[in-house]
Structure 1
Amino acid sequence: MNHRNALQVRAAVLSHYGDVAKNLGLSPHLMLRKVGLTPRMLASPTQLIPFKSALDLLEISAKESGCSTFGLQLAEARLLSDFGPISLLLTHQPSIRMALQTIAQYRHLLNEALGMHIEDVGKTTLIREEIISDSPGGTQQSTDMAVGVLMLIFRAMLSQHWRPQAVHFTHPANSDLQVHRRLFGCPLHFNSDFNGLVCLKADMDRPNERADATMASYAQSFIEAMPKRGQSSVLQDVRRSVYLLLPMGRASVEQIASGLGVNVRTLQRRLDDSGVSFSEVLNEVRCELAQRYITHTPHSMGRVAEQLGYSNLSSFTRWFTSQFDCSPTLMRARGIDETPMSMNPK
């Protein structure tokens, strides 16, 4: 579906890119030009830019600088004020949980390509983040930046000394974890089943002493009056939900519809209006995640199959071969550099 290639995000997602790039010996102008961007495009935080360009910029910058923590360093440079007007609304939410719900509500003002799922498990809360992209290239830098920015939000509302219980990444560990340890200060888990944080449930609901209901109301009124360009479509919402819930085994049409606050018939009708069916969206996201897991993680094929909703490896292999005209083992052997866009799923 070509509509995904046109996904745009606000230039604010690349806040402080120039400074970080220069510090690592890169020419920001040259790097931007490689992905079809210009400094002028980044000058206005509200300027819409192609998401794929932003995604590729971080991956290419990490590779050419030799810095595997480029995304994390970009997150370290961020300020809550970089979020624009919504930063005032976040600051005055009564708790972190409410702040994250606010981010989901106004995602179109932040990063339309980021999915987030919050789940309480006993005394802890899992916050899963996923970059929604059909690009066959990597998403490690964008994912790392997203998890790092999540830390920024927690610390801005709780304490600069706050630490999560653990941080998880689906990608392998870097050779140097100094930046990870400095930023997160907690146990790090790589080759995990998800990207995100594990924190105490009590922290999620701890009252924000600086919250001011009047200021929150003022900020919300201001945001609601802003132009609605870039606002999410039902197709984007469904894709985001499938990205987050498929690895958890919860990507049925009933669960997706419930999570979006509509009944199944309404969801299917809205997808029909967009020219797609739920099964088509599910299959496309499964293809995108399959390529990501196989070419960018060391997960076993059995583990990949399970994350994509297959109870046995043979069924997964048959499905994969029918989509890509090659086995998952062959795709992994070729590597991403030899997995061209022409190998898109059928």
Structure 2
Amino acid sequence: MHVVHPGPLHPTGAQPGNAIGILASAATGLVTFIGQQGGDAERILGRAGIDSERLEHPTLSLDLNQYCQVFEEAARQTGNDNFGLRFGQQFKPDALGLLGYVGMCSATLGDALRNVVDTFPVHQQSSLLRLEAMGEFYRLDYQVQYGAIVRRRQDAELSLGMFFNLMRHALGQNWAPEKVLFEHPQPEAWHEHCKVFDAPVLFGQPRNSLVFRRSVLDRPMPGRDPRLLAIVIESMRMLGGQAGTTNRPGIVDDVKTQVRALLGDGYPSLEQVAEQLRLPSWTVQRRLQEQGLSFSTLIDTVRQELATYYLQQSALPISELALLLGYSEISAFSRAFRRWFDVSPKQWRQAHKGQTVTAQ
């Protein structure tokens, strides 16, 4: 099995300040698709802070937070709660630009996925893309790991759709994974997800994943081209090098990301988070104190951010929401929520129905 290993690659550049980037190729065809769904593209892009002209240049970088927001806003304004799912369903691998061609030009599907994983930091920053072996199965995990981005359901669904289509490029349009996992709560129209992926779909999982049999990795890619693959990977290396230095979130966003991942198992400890960050717990505590924060305050902030997001998922019972936030009892969650907003979770949900909660 021949795999092209590109070596260390710098993350996406050409983004001002310390913004976390994603290549504009990930939004190929977005303006047209918004129009097809009955939305006003200029208005939606404007509310998310994205310049539509930037979308015409696939190797330019967009702010990842704004990119996630534009899909959430498109879902709201078009009235299509599954906007991201449908956008990903129609998104072809070649439209993904350099990253898509890395996959399509690889020798086998296994090579394609490994090469895409290796080059993904150039395409999208502060995000996980990982291929994990599980006996006779493999799992392709995807997750935005930027703590400032709370609302990311639409991105998760469109991203798994893109990777799903890359796999079908090799395996045929009738291929389906064993199951699909999403980290967000189950939406109302979840039956469409099962239909799109032709597989069982589970929600409220640790991360977003496609699970499939190991045997499919040996399937040759129809457009395998080692020469073009080498050129594309070198182009990505050069593009990544334009960043000069690696932009990445600070300790606050790192801790928030880990807290969010651990909350479903109960109240996370400082030691658990430090272990995930591969840092001594005293170092994490000191660096948070330098930002004027304590670990317990940060957990409270994450819970508050997630609570307002989850409450807008009308299909999610408040009892389940409490468990997702690490509370053992609904009463404990209700007390915390009244401390934050001076109203009950039910009252807040009714007052904010149909509104957009912006990530802090």
TM-score by length of 1: 0.73
Q: Which residue of 2 aligns with 1:185?
A: 198
| RMSD, matched Cα | 4.2
CA distance in structure 2 between the aligned counterparts of 1:158 and 1:281, rounded to whole angstroms: 45
Cα distance, 1:320–1:124 mapped onto 2, change above 3 Å? farther
Q: Which range moved further: 258-267 or 290-299?
A: 258-267
Q: Which residue of 1 aligns with 2:12?
A: none
Q: Which residue of 1 aligns with 2:347?
A: 330
What letter is aligned with 2:176?
R
1:296 to 291, 295, 313: 313
Q: Which residue of 2 aligns with 1:196?
A: 208
Q: Which residue of 2 aligns with 1:57?
A: 70
What letter is aligned with 1:319?
A
1:293: Cα distance to partner? 1.7
2:334 to 317, 337, 343: 317
CA distance in structure 2 between the aligned counterparts of 1:258 and 1:97, rounded to whole angstroms: 28
1:29 to 23, 36, 42: 42
Query: Are 1:164 and 1:186, in contact at CA under 8 Å, matched by a contact in 2?
Result: yes
Counterparts of 1:161-310 in structure 2 under 5 Å?
A: 161-169=174-182, 170-174=185-189, 177=192, 180=193, 183-189=196-202, 192-194=203-205, 196-197=208-209, 199-200=211-212, 202=214, 206-207=217-218, 209=220, 223-225=236-238, 226-228=241-243, 231-235=247-251, 236-249=253-266, 251-271=268-288, 276-310=293-327
Q: Mark the runs of 5 or more structure 2 residues left unpaired by the alignment.
A: 1-17
Cα distance, 1:290–1:67 mapped onto 2, change above 3 Å? closer
SS at 1:49's partner residue? strand
CA distance in structure 1 between the aligned counterparts of 2:325 and 2:331, rounded to whole angstroms: 13
SS at 1:296's partner residue? coil
Cα distance, 1:183–1:337 mapped onto 2, change above 3 Å? closer
What letter is aligned with 1:239?
K
Indicate yes or no: 2:160 matched with 1:143: no
SS at 2:208's partner residue? strand
Q: Which residue of 1 aligns with 2:118?
A: 102
1:176: Cα distance to partner? 7.6
CA distance in structure 2 between the aligned counterparts of 1:52 and 1:8, rounded to whole angstroms: 8
Cα distance, 1:76–1:120 mapped onto 2, change above 3 Å? same
CA distance in structure 1 between the aligned counterparts of 2:204 and 2:176, rounded to whole angstroms: 21
Indicate yes or no: 2:30 matched with 1:17: yes
CA distance in structure 2 between the aligned counterparts of 1:221 and 1:249, rounded to whole angstroms: 44
2:60 to 29, 33, 47: 47
Cα distance, 1:123–1:331 mapped onto 2, change above 3 Å? farther
Cα distance, 1:196–1:30 mapped onto 2, change above 3 Å? same
CA distance in structure 2 between the aligned counterparts of 1:126 and 1:75, rounded to whole angstroms: 19
SS at 1:37's partner residue? coil
Query: Are 1:115 and 1:241, in contact at CA under 8 Å, matched by a contact in 2?
Result: no
Cα distance, 1:8–1:216 mapped onto 2, change above 3 Å? closer
SS at 1:315's partner residue? helix
TM-score by length of 2: 0.70
Deviations 1:47-81 (A, max 9, x none): 34344443343233334434343212321333334
Q: Mark the runs of 5 or more structure 1 residues left unpaired by the alignment.
A: none
Cα distance, 1:146–1:61 mapped onto 2, change above 3 Å? same
1:125: Cα distance to partner? 5.7
CA distance in structure 2 between the aligned counterparts of 1:121 and 1:248, rounded to whole angstroms: 22
Deviations 1:267-306 (A, max 9, x none): 4455556554544443322222222222214333332222
Q: Which range moved further: 245-254 or 291-300?
A: 245-254
Cα distance, 1:43–1:64 mapped onto 2, change above 3 Å? same
1:266: Cα distance to partner? 4.5
1:184: Cα distance to partner? 0.9
Cα distance, 1:329–1:129 mapped onto 2, change above 3 Å? farther
CA distance in structure 2 between the aligned counterparts of 1:52 and 1:150, rounded to whole angstroms: 21
Query: Are 2:312 and 2:354, in contact at CA under 8 Å, matched by a contact in 1?
Result: no
